[in-house]
A = this chain, B = another copy of it.
Amino acid sequence: MTTTARDTDLASALVQTMHRLQDVHAETSRPLGLTPQQAHLLCVLIAGPLGMTELSRILSIERSSLTSMVDRLERRTLVARIPSATDRRACQIELTPEGLSLAHDAHNAVVDRINTLTADLPASTRRTLATALQSII
């Protein structure tokens, strides 16, 4: 016996939260003209340029999927492929100024939206929640 009723409650609460947040993510991305996946990609790049392989690892998608995603974003001049100086095969994906601005918009939109969802929680609960979730990731 390894699980109790409480375990199932926590797990299903997490699953439901995931679905709710997916909806929020989609709703905040769409008005910006981005799919949730595109918004995710742009937000990851805020920290700095990344190679295709590293980016695919962070986003948990195959490189072949990433290629076409980057194609579409590059066509809209939101990102740019920069050839690596040291390795002629590799390239770095970098946000353009326009892409950076949109990435910030997308990030702020979703953070704001989530903050309103969690606004009712007391500060102590917020802290417990944040640290507990950190340990899950």
A111 within 8 A of B: yes
Q: Are B18 and A17 in contact (CB under 8 A)?
A: yes
This chain: copies in complex: 2
Which residues of B have CB within 8 Å of A47? none
For A, the interface residue count at a CB cutoff of 8 angstroms equals 45
| Selected interface stretch from A2-10, A69-77, A79-87 | A2-10
Whether A13 lies near B128 (C-beta < 8 A) is no
Residue on B nearest A27 in the bound complex, by CB: B60
Asked, given contacts A13-B130, A22-B22, whether A7 binds B115 with beta carbons under 8 Å apart, the answer is yes
Nearest residue in B to A7 (C-beta to C-beta)? B115
Complex CA gap A15/B137 in Å reads 10
A2 surroundings in chain B (CB, below 8 A): 115
Contact flag A12-B136 (CB < 8 Å), given A19-B40, A21-B18, A128-B125: no
Which residues of chain B have C-beta atoms less than 8 A from A14's C-beta? 17, 21, 114, 118, 133
Task: Kindly list chain B residues whose C-beta atoms are within 8 Å of the C-beta of A90.
Answer: none
Residues of B near A9 (CB, < 8 A) are 130
Q: Is the CB of A129 within 8 A of B126?
A: no
Check A137/B18 contact, CB under 8 A, given A8-B111, A132-B121: no
B-binding residues in A (CB < 8 A)? 2-3, 6-23, 25-26, 40, 60, 110-111, 114-115, 117-118, 120-121, 123, 125-130, 132-137
